[in-house]
């Protein structure tokens, strides 16, 4: 991922990854919104307002309002950025599908290419989901 002027963002990966997770958690916990199309094209950086880049999520055209216990089988989003269960038309929890989308974006941001690197990233997201959603999601989802 690069700034518009071509400067590499690699030095900011931890910062931007944390901002993405906090923003998605905010959408889920405060507004009960599942974006459903989190991808690099829907992430922008504000590099002028603050001394550090601030990541913002845009394009809520297909976002849905839901609750943590509600499943859906709605197929929406960008194919390469959909969770497997969304692509397959199976029933899924929209908030967990959003976390999957975050992991795909982080893989790209971090430049992860090997299956081992990606597996490590997905394990980290499972830990995050258990920590932040353990009280709201059915136990079977988090194991």
Q: What are the per-10-residue average pLDDT scores of the chain (143 residues)?
A: 50 83 92 94 88 91 88 92 93 92 84 64 66 61 55
Among 37, 46, 61, 80, the active-site one is 37
- Taking only Cα atoms into account, the Rg of the chain, rounded to an integer number of angstroms, comes to 15
pLDDT for 109 equals 76
pLDDT at 60: 96
pLDDT at 129: 65
pLDDT given for residue 94 in this prediction: 93
Domain assignment present for residue 97? The answer is yes
Look up the pTM and report it.
Answer: 0.75
| Residue 79 within a domain | yes
| pLDDT at residue 5, rounded to an integer | 47
Residue 3 lies in a domain: no
- pLDDT of the residue at 38: 96
Give the DSSP letter of residue 107.
Answer: H
Q: What CATH number should be reported for the domain holding residue 62?
A: 1.10.510.10
Domain hosting residue 94, numbered range: 10-136
CA distances from 92 to 9, 11, 84 (A): 33, 35, 10
Q: What share of the chain is helix, strand, coil (3-state, %, to 5)?
A: 50, 10, 40
Number of independent structural domains in the chain = 1
pLDDT given at position 2: 43
37 included as an active-site residue: yes
Return the pLDDT at 43: 93
User: Is residue 5 domain-resident?
Assistant: no
Give domain status of residue 32, yes or no: yes
C-alpha–C-alpha distance, residues 141 and 132, integer Å: 13
| Total residue length of the chain | 143
């Amino acid at each position: 991922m690069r700034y518009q002027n071509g400067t590499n963002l690699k030095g900011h990966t931890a910062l931007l990854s944390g901002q993405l997770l906090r923003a998605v958690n905010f959408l889920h916990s405060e507004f009960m919104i599942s974006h459903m199309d989190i991808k690099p094209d829907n992430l922008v950086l504000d590099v002028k307002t603050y001394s550090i880049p601030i990541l913002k999520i845009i394009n809520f055209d297909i976002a849905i309002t839901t609750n943590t216990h509600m499943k859906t089988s709605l197929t929406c989003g960008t194919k390469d950025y959909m969770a497997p269960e969304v692509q397959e038309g199976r029933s899924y929890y929209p908030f967990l599908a959003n976390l999957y989308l975050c992991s795909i974006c982080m893989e790209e941001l971090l430049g992860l290419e090997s299956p081992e690197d990606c597996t490590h990233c997905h394990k980290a997201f499972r830990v995050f989901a258990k920590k932040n959603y353990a009280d709201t999601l059915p136990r079977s989802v988090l194991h």
